[in-house]
């Protein structure tokens, strides 16, 4: 599964990733016959819709309404983030079945609230950091409250996420460290920008580390991965449906 988180650039509120990186990414996906799931923040649904039409080969899911970590919100606010983001995307013509929590911060009540607001699957398991939360032998969805939850995928150590962030940080070794069992890969549009700084909420040294190998180097890493999986990537909804 190839998944893309569509949000603001490095937490800045800007949308260069949508305006500049997304069109190039769509061309690259077409070149390698790849299908992806885009998890879109509701606040950025309109500029995204200008570049990705509902009838495209790609899937669109929700990434929340405001990209606020759900663990900071009370239950009613989490429910509003889920329902409002889904309705915005569906009003734009997208068939929204899946959800991914911002920063993968998933409160315990999330499966219940997802079921109550009409979702069928969740891609919020695990951690964005190397963590024992990513340690799992599950390869098929876990069902909670009727919601199918997609297990995380890791590099060979079984705790480091299989994401462009860690392929960039570990480059040139990163691609060689992926597990043969990894099924879910994710990245952010802003990683493909030539930004001098990483995520702005991090301390200065960590910002610089987080910005390692962004821009053209990140494009090269992504293209090498797409070459490996030419014609064999799938959307999250296809994976979930294949597992009943």
Q: What percent of the chain has pLDDT over 90?
A: 87
d(CA 80, CA 172): 42
Residue 196 has a pLDDT of 81
* Tens digit of each residue's pLDDT (9 = 90 or more) over 168-216: 999 999 999 999 889 999 999 999 999 888 888 888 888 888 999 999 9
pLDDT at 154 over 80: yes
* Contacts of residue 244, Cβ cutoff 8 Å, sequence gap at least 6: none
Q: What percent of the chain has pLDDT over 70?
A: 100
**Which domain covers residue 20, as residue numbers?**
2-242
* Tens digit of each residue's pLDDT (9 = 90 or more) over 76-128: 999 999 999 999 999 999 999 999 999 999 999 999 999 999 999 999 999 99
Residues paired with 154 in a beta bridge: 161
pLDDT at 13 over 90: no
Residue 206 has a pLDDT of 84
* Tens digit of each residue's pLDDT (9 = 90 or more) over 35-80: 999 999 999 999 999 999 999 999 999 999 999 999 999 999 999 9
d(CA 101, CA 67): 8
Q: Report how many domains make up the chain.
A: 1
Residue 31 has a pLDDT of 96
Residue 197 has a pLDDT of 82
**Domain CATH number, residue 12:** 3.20.20.370
pLDDT at 244 over 80: no
Are the beta carbons of 211 and 199 closer than 8 angstroms?
no
């Amino acid at each position: 599964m190839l998944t893309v988180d569509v949000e603001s650039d490095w937490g800045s509120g800007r949308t260069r990733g949508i305006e500049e990186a997304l069109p190039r990414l769509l061309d690259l996906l077409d070149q390698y016959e790849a299908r992806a799931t885009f998890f879109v923040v509701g606040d950025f649904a309109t500029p995204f819709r200008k570049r990705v039409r509902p009838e495209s080969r790609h899937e669109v899911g929700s990434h929340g309404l405001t990209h606020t970590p759900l663990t900071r919100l009370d239950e009613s606010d989490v429910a509003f983030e889920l329902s409002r983001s889904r309705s915005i995307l569906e009003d734009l013509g997208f068939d929204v079945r899946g959800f991914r929590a911002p920063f993968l911060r998933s409160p315990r009540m999330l499966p219940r609230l997802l079921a109550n607001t009409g979702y069928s699957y969740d891609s919020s398991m695990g951690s964005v950091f190397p963590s024992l939360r990513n340690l799992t032998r599950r390869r098929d969805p876990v069902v909670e409250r009727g919601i199918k939850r997609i297990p995380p995928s890791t590099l060979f150590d079984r705790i480091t996420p299989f994401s462009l962030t860690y392929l960039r940080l570990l480059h040139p070794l990163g691609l060689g460290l992926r597990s043969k069992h990894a099924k879910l890969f994710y990245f952010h549009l802003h990683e493909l920008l030539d930004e001098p700084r990483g995520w702005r909420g991090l301390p200065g040294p960590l910002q610089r580390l987080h910005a390692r190998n962004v821009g053209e180097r990140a494009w090269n890493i992504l293209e090498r991965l797409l070459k490996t999986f030419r014609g064999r990537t799938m959307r999250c909804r296809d994976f979930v449906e294949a597992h009943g």
